[in-house]
Each structure stands twice: as structure tokens, then as C-alpha cells.
Amino acid sequence: MNGLVFASYNFFLKLQCPGSTNDATLTQITLAGIGSGIVSAVVTTPTELIKIRQQQCIDSSTVRDIATDIVKADGLRGLYRGAVSTALRDCGYGAYFASYEATLRLLSRPGERDGGWTVLVAGGVAGIVGWFATFPLDVVKTRIQGTSLNHSAAIRPLREGASDSVLNPYRTTWSAIVNSYRAEGLGVFYRGLAPTLLRAVPVNMVTFAVFESVVKMLS
């Protein structure tokens, strides 16, 4: 997935900077990151949906079994349940790439693009900023994808005459945000962030180190 994100990021960056991308502004970098996030959502929506449903299963259902069950219950569109929240979450790649580039430029010598420890630090910062920007919507997305499109019909007898948002609090992105906040407060959107950040720092340090190495090899 990182390959798709970085490839689409470079594509959108080159669209804005036909010459050298080294002179790209942080605004252009942010827009390229947002574009790459939207592209990646096309792939991540069904794959993360299947992963979440598989984690909910008591038995050892295969990926194929889960996908088949989703299509039978909700049709092909069921595979893209949570697509809006996933796309909005992945727009956080704008902040991810912008924070990396801003940190790298801050730590590098004027007119140069340093490597080594500066790339590692910038990668770690990007990991932290990226998850801070995306974590709330990741929580929302996970809650939406944990329910079926027909979930409200299954629980309708419990509250006859209630609105759809009450029958299925995770029916849409907005209803999931509102109902999660009402039930659990603001903290629910950052629950589990600490261990995520502990993992994100070393992972993104390595990710950007590899990315910069590949760019140098190809240039």
C-alpha cells in the first residue's frame, strides 16, 4: 500500500511541478498528499473492511468467505462501506507529507537536501503528525465498517419508531461522529493513539529512509 501512496503522491506532485519537484511549496505537497490519500482509499476501503469483519468473526473464516458474505448481504457496494470516512481519513496524507518535507527543510542546510539522521527525524515527525490528523476518522471508519449496510434493519424491533441514526448509530460518517461523541465524549476519537504513535515513529523513519534511497537510485 505504501508503494501506491508514494507513487500517486509523486504523480500529483509532478502535475503541479512539471520541472523540479524540489521547489514545490508546502501547499503543493499537501495537495499531492491529499490526492494520494484519495487514490489509496479505493484500495484500502474493501481490504480494511474485510480485515475488520474477519477480526469480528468467532470462527476461522477466510478472506474469500468474508468477502462473499458481504456481497450476499449488501451487494457489491457493501465492499465500499465506509468509503467516505476512509477517503476523508486518508486525506491526512496531506499533513503527513507536508510535515515530513517541512521538517526536512528545517533541518537541512540552506539550498541542500540532507540525508541520514535528518530523514529519520523528519520521518518520525511525519508519522506523529500523520496519525494525529487521521486517527479520529480512523476510529469513525472502523466503527462504520464494523456494521453492515443492513444493520439497522436487524435491530429495528428494539426501538420501534426511532430514527435511523438511533437504530444504527454508525449509518453514515456524520452519524458515527455525533453518536460516538454523545456516548463516549471527545476522548473516544483518540483512544489507542499512544501505542499507535509508538509504532508509527520507527516505521515511518524506515519508510522515508527507504523512499529517499529509492529516489536517489532512480534519479
Summary count for the chain: helices (H), strands (E): 10, 0
The SS3 call for residue 52 is helix
> What pLDDT shows up at residue 2?
83
Q: What is the Cβ-side half-sphere exposure of residue 41, based on CA atoms within 13 angstroms?
A: 24
> What pLDDT shows up at residue 129?
98
The answer to whether 137 and 88 are in contact (CB under 8 A) is yes
The answer to whether 163 and 86 are in contact (CB under 8 A) is no
127 burial level (CB within 10 Å; 0-12, 13-18, 19+): buried
- Nearest CA among 79, 196, 76, 204 for reference residue 138: 196
User: What is the model's pTM?
Assistant: 0.86
Question: d(Cα 145, Cα 45) in Å, to the nearest integer?
Answer: 9
Question: d(Cα 67, Cα 158) in Å, to the nearest integer?
Answer: 28
79 burial level (CB within 10 Å; 0-12, 13-18, 19+): middle
> What pLDDT shows up at residue 167?
62
Question: d(Cα 219, Cα 215) in Å, to the nearest integer?
Answer: 6
Query: How far, rounded to the nearest angstrom, does the alpha carbon of residue 180 sit from its chain's CA centroid?
Result: 19
Per-residue pLDDT tens, the chain, 219 aa: give them: 788 999 999 999 999 988 778 789 999 999 999 999 999 999 999 999 999 998 888 777 889 999 999 999 889 999 999 999 999 999 999 999 999 999 999 998 776 676 789 999 999 999 999 999 999 999 999 999 988 766 543 333 333 343 444 467 888 999 999 999 999 999 999 999 999 999 999 999 999 999 888 888 876
Question: d(Cα 163, Cα 127) in Å, to the nearest integer?
Answer: 39
CA torsion, ordered 94, 99, 100, 101, to nearest 10 deg: 90
> What pLDDT shows up at residue 29?
97
Query: Which residue type does 44 have?
Result: T
Which helix (H) or strand (E) element contains residue 210? helix 193-218
Question: d(Cα 183, Cα 192) in Å, to the nearest integer?
Answer: 17
Domains of the chain: 2-218 (1.50.40.10)
> What pLDDT shows up at residue 30?
97
